[in-house]
Amino acid sequence: MKSQVFTEFTLTMLPATGLFLFLLLFIAALVWVFRKDSNKFYEQLEQIPFNEDQIRDQQ
Amino acid sequence: MSKTTSNMVEVSYDNKVVKAFIQATLLWGFVAMLLGVTIALQLANFNFNFDLPWLTFGRLRPLHTNAAIFAFVGNGMFAGVYYSLQRLLKARLFNDTLSWIHFWGWQLIIVAAAVTIPFGFSQGKEYAELEWPIDIAITLIWVVFAVNFFGTIKKRREKHIYVAIWFYIATVVTVALLHVVNSISLPVSFMKSYSFFAGAQDALIQWWYGHNAVAFFLTTPILGLMYYFVPKAANRPVYSYRLSIIHFWSLVFIYIWAGPHHLLYTALPEWVQTVGMAFSVALWAPSWGGMINGLLTLRGRWDKVKTDHTLKFLATAVTFYGMSTFEGPLLSIKSINAVAHFTDWIVGHVHAGTIGWNYMLTAGMLYYLVPKLWKAELYSPKLANLQFWLATFGLVLYIVSMWVAGITQGMMWMAVSPESGNLIYPHFIETVTQIVPMYWVRAIGGILVLTSFGIMIYNFWKTIKSSNRGSEMDNEVAQVTSNMDQGTGKPKKAHQALEGLPAIFTILVFLSVIVGTIIELAPTFLASSYIEKSEDVTPYTPLELLGRDVYIKEGCYTCHSQMIRPMVNEKLRYGHPSHISESIYDHPFQWGSRRIGPDLARVGGKYPHMWHYRHMVNPREMTPGSIMPNYPWLIKNRYNLKQLQTKMKVMVSLGVPYTEEEIASAVADATSQAEEITESLVEGGIPAKIQDKEVVALIAYLQRLGTDMQFEDEDESDESINEGEGE
């Protein structure tokens, strides 16, 4: 009996836990991404692919 | 700003290995598509199987999928990752030797696949057919890749990790996890093994793997490439860096849960299916976030898209990404899945992804890289244009024909007469011949796509030939500014560099993925419903076990499912819905994913032995119009009695309850069961020497399917059937 209750409990709790964790992560990511004064930081990041400096062939 | 000068360093980027991966991409891409065209023709007309074992559909289809995913997209991804990684981090790849071990190791694995799969060496799990020694080789080479990859991050001169690299990290970590878990098996011999998992558990793990192979092999690395090559080609930064971060985390977290959408209406517990469906629908949001981000990066550049081949292919790829990530969640909705599952609609969906997204994006990337790396002008812009239109048109033919075929066949299977309550198309073959014309259309679409790829190879070959050999940049030297430590002006010590964000980040990715994985898979290890044993279900007899190995070797699962869904029409057509305990001893499970032929879960006892014998030799003799291949070699090849006892012992270690006595008498038991079957065949005029041939073992297996459990209370069990779906 007891073990059966435990199994039932786990089964419904598992996806709920997952959803909760996801929401937590999602909100954390949102807060982090839109934190104050981060504009400059992201402008810097999005430029990374263009920071090529000078390139020449190796002889 | 004198510090800047002191921060200037010279880096030599490794272009040589990137070029090697590009050439491999071209070679294997062509091979993969050629195989695709071959199997498409085989479905349009069975004669294309040529009655040769190593050319039949069941064996070539796994080779096609493995080649497309791991050989074509794999090499393309390695080329793009190695190119962009060095530039984004301002560092040469960690170690040249590792780069080349990675390159040659991967090519060897592909060759190993090409010489084993057509000869029937298969683990019988989709996209994971390769036998255990090759699986180990894949793991080793992946570790080499990971070391090279993280080593490069460690010695970087750019403090910040650009978002593309986040996507690469997710790939490196997750693919390793997926591959290792799904491939766990016990070897029987050098080239034969049985999956560690069985039945429902094996199914769930397989589709956790299968779906996430799509997610983390065909999607995340390619998105990373999109975040690098689209801005580079358009010469402007990504539309929203913030959106890319949200995109990343949502995708990584949600994708891992979506696997069970491949198993809707199966014998899996209801809640697992519901979670799979819910997360699959949720996937739509981050996927479209990524698509919008890609397309908006091109805003105001659309005039360039028309003339620039790189941009044209990239923009088309992102558009198809949007299309297939809209279709995917749609197909995960249970009521739609009821029609679409097991049909060609799914096949069309996959190709919208692999051709529309993977091929197109790879082509865009190559049009950017080849002229640059070989320092040559593109040979013919006209040919590039022709390629684009052929590929697009071919793909549209492919997708539309598969929609028509899938929906037609799905509706025909489901059609039940409201008056009589009987199936309107009781003969499965009617639903096949109806869609054969669509198989021709699909084959033509495929030929166009293959031709387009051939044109690209020719175009690049001419381009490369025109390049001045001496000027090829195998090692490209750049003067870069290191920003690793503004304070001292010196790069930080290597280990400090890894301590920062990338390490935390990698751990976070791993956690997200592992949490989803554990929650999804844990119940299969804990809950009794997965391992529910029924007194009635007993292990296969020795001969049936051998027959089952023939079934796996021939890849019958590429055309036949063994999973009757709880729907009125399926019950009418195939019998009582499959029960979870019926496949409890199936290492690996063989539920299948496509019904090119009918479900076989309860085929046992449906026909006499003689019917199967003649059907295997020539299916058209029993069912005119059948597109199943002939299997003439099954009446010539002997089954392998020598391995039988080892096989049973391995099964025992996996939890199958064979007794000592059963193992001891295995050979005798198999022989006598074979004699029994042969007797009834001899009555039909077949020579008695057939008894040690594979066909006899296969018949034994087929006749056993679905016969263990008796479902007496027919009326009561009807209630569990979803009436609504049968209409």
Q: pLDDT tens digit string along B395-418?
A: 999 999 999 999 999 999 999 999
Q: Measured between alpha carbons, how far is B276 from B254 in angstroms, rounded to an integer?
A: 10
Contact yes or no for B520/B259 (Cβ under 8 A): yes
Residue in A closest to B527 by C-alpha? A7
Angle between the N-to-C axes of helices B57-66 and B96-116, in degrees from 0 to 180, rounded to the nearest 10:
170
Instruction: Find the range with the poorest average confidence among A30-39, B131-140, B481-490.
Output: B481-490
Would you say residue B141 has pLDDT above 60? yes
Q: Are residues B65 and B181 in the same domain?
A: yes
Measure the CA–CA gap between B77 and A32, rounded to whole angstroms: 30
CA dist., res. B411 & res. B398, Å (int) = 20
B275 and A50: CB-CB below 8 Å? no
Q: Is A20 on the interface with B (CB under 8 A)?
A: no
Among candidate residues B531, B525, B647, the one with its CA nearest the CA of residue B185: B647
Read off the pLDDT of each residue in B102-116 and give the average, rounded to a whole number.
Answer: 98
Residues of B in contact with A30 (CB under 8 A): 246
Residues B515 and B546 in one domain: no
**Single residue among B521, B551, B573 that ends a domain in this structure:** B521
- Report residue B177 as tokens: 């996890």
**Does pLDDT of B512 surpass 90?**
no
- Looking at the complex, does the CB of residue A49 fall below 8 Å from at least one CB of chain B? yes
Mean pLDDT confidence for B203-217: 92
- Tell me whether B314 touches chain A (CB under 8 Å): no
B12-16, B488-492, B559-563 — which is least confidently predicted?
B488-492
pLDDT of residue B682: 95
Looking at the domain assignment, is residue B615 inside a domain?
yes
Residues of A in contact with B162 (CB under 8 A): 45, 48-49
Is B59 inside any structural domain? yes
pLDDT at B203: 92
Percent pLDDT > 90 in chain B is 75
CB B536 within 8 A of CB B585: no
Closest residue in A to B509 (Cα) is: A25
Q: What is the mean pLDDT of residues B637-664?
A: 95
The domain in which residue B300 lies consists of 3-483+508-521
Q: What is the pTM of this model?
A: 0.93
> CA–CA separation, B361 vs B367, rounded Å?
10
CB contacts of B88 in chain A (<8 Å) are 48-49
Does B237 contact A33 at a Cβ distance shorter than 8 Å? no
Q: Do B480 and A48 touch (CB under 8 A)?
A: no
Q: Does the structure show a pLDDT above 60 at B2?
A: no
Tens of pLDDT along B672-696? 999 999 999 999 999 888 999 999 9
- Predicted local confidence at residue B489, as pLDDT: 45
Residue B46 pLDDT grade (very low, low, confident, very high; cuts 50, 70, 90): very high
Measured between beta carbons, the chain A residues lying within 8 angstroms of B14 are: none
pLDDT of residue B530: 57
Res B724: pLDDT: 39
CA distance B725 to B568: 7
Examine residue B531 and state whether it is found in any structural domain, yes or no: no
**DSSP string over B230-281:** HHHHHTS--S-HHHHHHHHHHHHHHHTT-GGGGGTTSSS-HHHHHHHHHHHH
* Element spanning B160, H or E: none
CB-based contact B526 A10, cutoff 8 Å: yes
Residue B488 has pLDDT above 60, yes or no: no
CB B178 within 8 A of CB B220: no
Confidence of residue B498 (pLDDT cuts 50, 70, 90): very low
pLDDT, mean of residues B37-43: 98
- pLDDT given at position B714: 53
| A24 touching chain B per CB within 8 A | no
Per residue in B547-571, pLDDT (tens digit) is: 999 999 999 999 999 999 999 999 9
Residues B302, B419 within the same domain: yes
Chain B contact set for A46 (CB, 8 A): 231, 237-238, 241
CA distance B223 to B318: 9
Same domain, B619 and B683: yes
Structure confidence at residue B279 (pLDDT): 83
Chain mean pLDDT for chain A: 72
Q: State whether A18 and B526 contact (CB < 8 Å).
A: no
Spatial neighbors of B701 by CB under 8 A, at least 6 apart, are B540, B543, B544, B545, B546, B547, B548, B550, B551
Residue B706 CA, distance from chain mean position: 28
From A30, which residue of chain B is nearest by alpha-carbon distance? B246
More confident residue, B179 or B486: B179
pLDDT, tens only, B436-460:
999 999 999 999 999 999 999 999 9
| B685 vs B279, residue with greater confidence | B685
> Do residues B340 and B373 both lie within one domain?
yes
pLDDT (mean) for B693-718:
83
Sign of the C-alpha dihedral computed for residues B530, B535, B540 and B542 taken in this order: positive
E strands, B345-446, where? none
* pLDDT at position A29: 81
Map residue B192 onto helix, strand or coil: strand
Between B653 and B256, the higher pLDDT residue: B653
B2 phi-psi bin (left φ>0, alpha ψ -120 to 50, beta other) = alpha
Q: Are residues B517 and B585 in the same domain?
A: no
Residue of B nearest to A27 (CA): B246
If asked whether residues B513 and B564 sit together in one domain, one would say no
- Place B719 in a pLDDT band, splitting at 50, 70 and 90: very low
Mean pLDDT of the A4-26 span: 67
Percent of chain B at pLDDT exceeding 70: 93
**Residue B499: inside a domain:** no
Q: Is residue B258 part of a domain?
A: yes
Measured CA to CA, the distance from residue B250 to residue B252 in angstroms comes to: 6
Encoded tokens for A51:
């920071």
Lowest mean pLDDT among B1-10, B196-205, B216-225, B584-593: B1-10
The stretch B77-98 carries a mean pLDDT of 96
Say yes or no for a CB contact (<8 Å) between B162 and A45. yes
Binned at pLDDT 50, 70 and 90, residue B531 comes out as: low
Q: What is the pLDDT of residues B301-357, one digit of tens each?
A: 888 888 899 999 999 999 999 999 999 999 999 899 999 999 999 999 999 999 999
**Greater confidence, B560 or A41?**
B560
3-class DSSP state for residue B118?
A: helix
Q: Which of B 657-676 lie inside 8 A of A, CB atoms?
A: none
Out of A4-18, B379-393, B627-641, pick the least confident: A4-18
Residue B218 has pLDDT above 60, yes or no: yes
pLDDT band for A53, please (50, 70, 90 cuts).
low
Q: Do A7 and B271 touch (CB under 8 A)?
A: no
pLDDT at residue B200 in the model: 87
Does pLDDT of B9 surpass 80?
Answer: yes
Whether residue B429 has pLDDT greater than 60 = yes
Within a domain: residue B501?
no
Is residue B496, in this structure, part of any structural domain at all? no
Predicted pLDDT at A36:
79
Strands (E), B59-125: none
Domain segments of chain A as ranges: 2-58
In a domain, B492, yes or no: no
pLDDT value at position B487? 46
Q: What is the CATH number of the domain that holds B418?
A: 1.20.210.10
Helix-strand-coil percent breakdown of chain B, rounded to 5? Answer: 70, 5, 25
Q: How confident is the model at residue B508 (pLDDT cuts 50, 70, 90)?
A: confident
Looking at the complex, does the CB of residue B522 fall below 8 Å from at least one CB of chain A? yes
Highest mean pLDDT: which range of A15-19, B195-199, B435-439: B435-439
Q: Pick the residue from chain B with its C-alpha nearest to A13.
A: B519
| Parallel, antiparallel or unpaired: strands B192-195 and A54-57 | unpaired
Q: By the CB < 8 Å criterion, does A8 face chain B?
A: no
- Name residue B242's amino acid: R
List the single best residue of A12, A20, A22, A35 to mutate versus B (max B Cβ within 10 A).
Answer: A22
Across chain B, mean pLDDT equals 91
Number of domains in chain B: 2
Give the nearest partner residue to A55 out of B160, B275, B476, using CB atoms.
B476
Q: Is A47 on the interface with B (CB under 8 A)?
A: yes
- Res. B596 pLDDT band, cuts 50 70 90: very high
- Residue B709 sits in a domain whose CATH number is 1.10.760.10
Average pLDDT over residues B204-220: 93
How many Cα neighbours within 13 Å face the side chain of B676? 12
Judge: A22–B254 Cβ closer than 8 Å, yes or no: yes
Taking 80 as the threshold, does the pLDDT of residue A33 lie above it? yes
Selecting from A11, A12, A25 the residue whose C-beta is nearest the C-beta of B253 gives A25
Taking the C-alpha atoms of residue A28 and residue A24, their distance in angstroms, rounded to an integer, is 6
